[in-house]
Amino acid sequence: MPNPPRSNPKILRRAGELRHQPIPAEQKLWAYLRAVREDEVHFRRQHAIGQYITDFCSPRRKLIIELDGGQHIEQAGYDEERTGYLELQGYKVIRFWNNEVMNDIEGVMRAILSALEDK
């Protein structure tokens, strides 16, 4: 019996659109994530899971990386609900502020690699 789809066509289409409109912090982090070449570590950008689109996801390692800008201060409740859903799907979610990526990419990458070691 085939696996059910991980999302619906509308969400998958939107994820594709977002891949073509990355913000500077996403572009910078993507360049670093693409260089990570460990066993079973492969990240996807704008990866749809259910009704949500994650910024970066390593499906095999069940790790999601979310980048937050200023708008996330006003949507803390939505972010909590979203994180809860993703964790119920077996994912670990880690979050960084956009300015952390832009100003301390080495620290961000250390945190990501540490999270991968914990998985």
> What are the tens digits of pLDDT across the range 16-71?
888 888 899 999 999 999 988 777 789 999 999 999 999 999 999 999 999 998 66
Q: Are the C-beta atoms of 50 and 63 separated by less than 8 Å?
A: no
Mean pLDDT lowest among 12-16, 28-32, 97-101: 12-16
What three-state secondary structure class fits 2? coil
Q: Which two tokens stand for residue 38?
A: 């460990």
- CATH class of the domain defined by 9-118: alpha beta
Please give the residue that has the higher pLDDT: either 21 or 94: 94
Per-residue pLDDT, 4: 58
- Map out the domains of the chain as residue ranges: 9-118
